[in-house]
Structure 1
């Protein structure tokens, strides 16, 4: 038998839109887990949310729980049955205690011992009888970024609960949560729907809501919203920028989306476009509109929650609000331009960067020194004038009115103000680029000066925070050090900058007078982050660790090394070389003591002479390849060496009865090991 639908709706005051996506994801997973634990099978489960309700709909649930089968372990099999297979008193007693016959006992092996076991089936009850406990427990488990609390400390929710609808087909599931009794009635749209809608059957729920201007399914709500926006584009002769964040925010701000458009004065287009789009997005949740040339048009698209009879009134009201916002922005813009960006630098002395680390001015001066050092380290001294000026102005926009109002515009406003102050374009670009990437996989710095500035600042942050004990712990990373380390690697890879991050960190430690202990923690932290980031690209742990040990902390060279050596895994000569490296390491480890000098006069086999000659030939070539970071060349030299090592082990008994010959062969293998170790402990790749 099938119980058609289980329905739960929690009606509330408006829940912040940002809460709902994560809540829906949690609700779906938790509901599935709870139904599985209750042994209630079903065909499908869906979750929905609007600003005023969160709903769960389970379709085609089984009318009864599935049976529960428990296996009970009894006496050992040889104690339950004699040698002739006859049941003993122990077997009879166990079978009786579990309510089964002797014939139902089965042998089951546990930890090497066979036991008599009984399977006892417990028939499932009615599914509907489980729901009065399951559903309120499910509500209680819901989590939000912020909660409101009731007199009962076990009751909490994002906003006050106004009604609860809980049904199984036509039957109400009775329970109470937060002082609200569950029932079979819901509420329509706040302005256009009925105040009380009785649901006769759970199957009719969504249709009844739709008739009262509530589109419960967020996917259908999205479709209606986007279709409405698309139709407006024809009137605007432009394209609406469908920012995913604005879409999702509007999606959970309305129950019945009605897109509309409005306009604003062209005079505001004299400000940077990002000021307008940020104001529209952040304050009003509007979409901006661009013309065919890609430039911003003096229009916006909003989403109303009301199918007003006169949309002109809605439009005018929104235009009035936006006009006030843009007028504020225009005032900030004008005021900020009255003072050169450079004049703001002195004001940074009054801003505490971190209590233990001094002012923001202190930070930028140290970062400036580090950035200039990095120019020299990378042999890019021609960039010093640009980097020096950009580092000096790096945080000057943080004290502007515009960035105070819109913190997300830091860097971008620095660029715009610098350009209007007559700063060189490359300096202005660096002020913007220093903040990139803002998220994993997002836009990278467009030019090297901004990349250098970004590398220097992020390294400074990592080192300074470790210096004063503010390193990440568990899931806590208040200063974003993990993100900073990730960005360092992404910048280096994206712009193909050959930077030794360990040297960069060491220079930062000198500038900050950090202790040696801090240095060890910082380098371990950076190595761990690099290891994890490279593994995300699909490289194995052992090979990645080898690459980092060989290349030093040079992220670009780590990837180049991996690009070459990852292709060698499984290749016969390389597999043989890895096997040989393990044998060499084991033999030397077991031999103990220091290896002597190789004496060619003691060679008794051609394979010894050949290997010795090949090591002497290849050794300087390997050194040269390592110095030039020529990983293809290095692989080639190892390929040339490999057959000589294999031939040696095929033809030569290292542990010769003659002590002198044995020691000479161990010395030869020590020579071979020293060459291998220049490439790292390749033996760790055995079985990788």
Structure 2
């Protein structure tokens, strides 16, 4: 009878890279879990712990030894194992030797198919303490480490130097060794509040032991504590924190005992656009900026420190001293940049490379100018404002502010455009042209902003496809997949009735001097965009067969594509759908085998009641389906088509399509072709599973 106990493994290290801590912890825990499973060792629960100076895993109720395993290995058939005199053959002897037995010691396996030699043995299970060393080595090898460090005499290398290895099964220290460090029941406490080691008496006391040493070992608990502290402190300041999930993760990876404090800066800095100040505070300093109820930046921020200071005022003033020169830099760049107009910066873009075959960013800006104007015109928007925004959209890339703080590109363009007296429509479109920057990001709010955003993404897509550098596997250095999904979101969610063929055509035309095969590139880019629809809808949980059914019709107006997908997804749950999909499949197969050209139905040649009934039913819904499909109301079209289920089923039950008489046969094929044609006005539902 095997026992169960708790297993603790902790790697005590120098400070781990904060942006990697979460993924390191997940990988370490997953690896241990996988290895326990492979070793056939059950457990009741597994928990991760991660802080700047440790990666740990606690496995509750783990089996302390493997169960014994009965191994059965079949040998040669009896006919091949013994010769005519009953002596073992070479084959039998070789097999037995491999099993570590003599032929006489082998069992026999009898089945209705014959008889074989058989080796049966009980392999005793190993104790967990014998396996833990290999668990450790494999888990460490599998960690996603971008760059390793060497330390000491340089013989060991790992993500950070290892100082402690703690491996406990209940209260017993298991023998293990990593990078020259031997396992013990000691763990390191907080660097400042508890520099001495702590002794973990039992694996299940790990978390509480560290708590006594001023360490909150659970990442999620630390994260929650930070969020609560920032929220409460902001409330006291009558303010709202500028949240950022990645920032909370990063701060939780930098401290073992979080304490929140509030600090301030000079109000004079508020003359700088808030986005630049927020970026400086968040990305450079890991601070939480504060805004008032209407979103205006306040001259205060919250920061998280790793110590409970006896003199918090000193800590606050230290952080204020650190942030001041960073804010002063932002102010200097802003004041200096305003002295040069955005329009005067465009010529400087001619010396910034976009792509060596496609020219400079200045060339790109002039293409975006022309294309944004053309797209805005197609949307009945302000074409002049959109074209102007297109020309100026990249000009802030050569400003001091954006060179220092690249994340504020676009936003600074908007502020500088306003300062230069450009129209508000143009200024907002400059900021909006990067949108959506990431999944779930807001889209441009104006039609002019949409036009510039589409023009920019199209220019990159068409240019890169034009020189044959399409994305391969995971490689997509120009972010073409993201650009394509961004375009789809703008077209669908903003309900823009634009055709992909026309849009791509506008961008292809602007590359006339570079692209030698325009028609081919146009087709490739449209196909690529249609292919991204599949990825986008799958993420929304729409089944692949629904997307394929629509893709088969190749609708190139994104809004129309969306209407069809939604209608087919809804139709799929209709009780008639399965039978009609099967019937469409059957019709498709029959038509594929037709030898002569299929004409139109001649009513005079319809003789059987079932084919006449189908013909009449089809004619009865034709106008409804056409009108609904023309108006993009594909749900109504499919509802009308669903009424054909009965006449279609009856037709296949009682009508012989391949009649002897060729005229009758061709007429029946024409009827089926007409039926299929009605469904194809929406999608190819023969592809529904």
Matched, 1:561 2:540: no
| 1:543-554 matches, cutoff 5 A | 543-550=546-553, 552-554=555-557
1:170·1:201 contact (CA, 8 Å) conserved in 2? yes
1:193-232 correspondence to structure 2 within 5 Å: 193-232=194-233
Q: Contact conserved, 1:98 with 1:120, CA < 8 A, in 2?
A: no
The one of 523, 527, 531 aligned to 1:524: 527
Match of 1:84 in 2: none
* Mapping 1:236-315, distance limit 5 Å: 236-315=237-316
Q: What SS class does the counterpart of residue 302 from structure 1 fall into?
A: strand
SS across alignment from 2:166: strand
Matched with 1:85 is none
SS at match of 1:441: coil
Query: More deviation in 391-400 or 95-104?
Result: 95-104
Cα 1:95/1:452, change in 2 over 3 Å? same
Query: 1:334 is matched with which residue?
Result: 335
The alpha carbon displacement at 1:360 in A equals 0.5
Comparing 238-247 and 456-465, the one that deviates more:
238-247
Alpha-carbon contact 1:77-1:107 (below 8 Å) kept: no
Name the counterpart of 1:44: 45
Q: Is the 8 A contact 1:7 1:56 kept in 2?
A: yes
Residue correspondences, number: 674
In the aligned structure 2, how far is the partner of 1:440 from the partner of 1:64?
47
1:57 and 1:103 mapped to 2: Cα distance?
44
Alpha-carbon deviation of 1:482? 1.1
User: Is 1:533 equivalent to 2:536 in the alignment?
Assistant: yes
Q: Which residue of 1 aligns with 2:418?
A: 419
Answer whether contact 1:436 1:454 (CA < 8 A) is retained.
yes
Equivalent-residue separation in structure 2 for 1:40 and 1:649 (angstroms) = 58
**1:116–1:530 Cα change, 3 Å:** farther
Relative to 1, partners in 2 of residues 1:609 and 1:185: Cα closer, same or farther, differing over 3 Å? closer
- TM-aligned CA distance change 1:588 to 1:207, over 3 Å: closer
Task: Specify the SS of the correspondent of 1:183.
Answer: coil
Evaluate the alpha carbon distance shift between residue 618 and residue 74 of structure 1 in structure 2; reply closer, same or farther with a 3 A threshold.
same
The alpha-carbon deviation at position 621 of structure 1 amounts to 6.5
SS of residue paired to 2:183: strand
Q: What secondary structure is seen at the aligned counterpart in 2 of 1:653?
A: coil
**CA RMSD, Structure 1 to Structure 2 (Å):** 3.6
Deviation of 1:590 after TM superposition, in Å, equals 3.2
Within 1, Cα distance between the matches of 2:235 and 2:546? Answer: 56
Describe the superposition over 1:630-660 as per-residue Cα deviations: whole angstroms up to 9, x where unpaired.
4245336535666665555455433333344
Is the contact made by 1:108 and 1:116 (CA closer than 8 Å) also made in structure 2?
no
**Worse-superposed segment, 582-591 or 537-546:** 582-591
> 1:437 aligns to what?
436
Alignment TM-score, normalising by the size of structure 1:
0.87
- Aligned partner of 1:126 in structure 2 is 127
Q: Does 1:362 align with 2:363?
A: yes
CA contact (8 A) 1:67 1:124 kept: yes
Structure 2 CA distance, aligned partners of 1:640 and 1:197?
76
Q: Which runs of 5+ in 2 are unaligned?
A: 82-86
The 1:206–1:365 alpha-carbon spacing in structure 2 relative to 1, beyond 3 Å, is same
Equivalences for 1:458-473 in 2 at 5 Å? 458-473=457-472
CA distance in 2, matches of 1:204, 1:616: 78
Conserved in 1, the CA contact under 8 Å of 2:564 and 2:634? yes
1:392 and 2:395 equivalent? no
* Matched position secondary structure for 2:571: coil
SS at match of 2:263: strand
Name the TM-score, length of structure 2 as normaliser.
0.87
Q: Cα distance, 1:228 vs. partner? A: 3.7
Counterparts of 1:3 and 1:658, CA distance in 2: 80
Q: Is the 8 A contact 1:288 1:296 kept in 2?
A: yes
User: Cα deviation per residue 1:312-333 (whole Å; 9 max; x = unaligned)?
Assistant: 1111111111111111111111
Deviation at 1:26, TM superposition (A): 0.5
Q: Secondary structure at the match of 1:550?
A: coil
Cα distance in 2 for residues equivalent to 1:57 and 1:642: 59
Aligned partners of 1:441, 1:50: CA distance in 2, in Å? 30
CA distance in structure 2 between the aligned counterparts of 1:606 and 1:3, rounded to whole angstroms:
75
Q: Does 1:481 align with 2:484?
A: no
For 2:18 and 2:162, the matched residues in 1 are separated by 16
Report what 2:84 is aligned to.
none
Deviates more, 1:510-519 or 1:334-343: 510-519
Query: Secondary structure at the residue paired with 1:5?
Result: strand
8 Å contact from structure 2 (residues 368, 387) kept in 1: no
2:371/2:387 contact within 8 Å kept: no
1:145 is paired with a residue of what secondary structure?
coil
8 Å CA contact 1:273, 1:296 repeated in 2: yes
Query: Secondary structure of 1:65's partner?
Result: coil
Q: Is the 8 A contact 1:140 1:154 kept in 2?
A: no
Distance in 1 separating the partners of 2:111 and 2:157: 48
| Partner SS for 2:135 | helix
| Partner secondary structure for residue 566 of structure 1 | helix
Task: Provide the rounded CA distance (Å) in 2 between the counterparts of 1:571 and 1:234.
Answer: 52
Match in the other structure for 2:376: 375
Q: Relative to 1, partners in 2 of residues 1:612 and 1:210: Cα closer, same or farther, differing over 3 Å?
A: closer
Match of 1:12 in 2: 13
Q: What secondary structure is seen at the aligned counterpart in 1 of 2:553? A: helix
Contact (CA 8 Å) 1:95, 1:101: kept in 2 or not? no
Deviation at 1:626, TM superposition (A): 4.4
SS in structure 1 of the partner of residue 552 of structure 2 = helix
Q: Secondary structure at the match of 1:567?
A: helix
Determine if contact 1:147/1:156 at 8 Å carries over to the other structure: yes
Q: Distance in 1 between matches of 2:631 and 2:114?
A: 63
SS in structure 2 at match of 1:259: strand
CA distance in structure 2 between the aligned counterparts of 1:681 and 1:132, rounded to whole angstroms = 57
